[in-house]
């Protein structure tokens, strides 16, 4: 379907309205650090008790 096209993951995440984080290859992100994905997941879990993450194929290419 396209290894570097995150539009399917984004469209399904928006349609479900349950997804908290969507990682796609078009947007660069950090896993660790003050603005990292790990910290965001942990903070969400502390506040709400859960965190639903959608990871598109090829999203590891978005790592900084």
Mean pLDDT, the chain, as a whole number?
A: 90
pLDDT value at residue 58: 87
Mean pLDDT of the 23-40 span = 92
Euclidean distance between CA atoms 55 and 34, whole angstroms: 20
Q: pLDDT at residue 2 above 70?
A: no
Q: pLDDT at residue 1 above 80?
A: no
Query: 3: pLDDT confidence band, cut at 50, 70 and 90?
Result: confident
Q: pLDDT at residue 12 above 80?
A: yes
């Amino acid at each position: 379907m396209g290894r570097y096209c995150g539009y399917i993951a984004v469209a399904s995440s928006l349609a479900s309205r349950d997804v908290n984080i969507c990682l796609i290859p078009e947007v660069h992100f950090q896993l660790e650090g003050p603005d990292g994905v790990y910290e965001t997941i942990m903070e969400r879990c502390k506040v709400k008790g859960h965190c639903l993450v959608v990871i598109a194929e090829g999203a590891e290419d978005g790592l900084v």
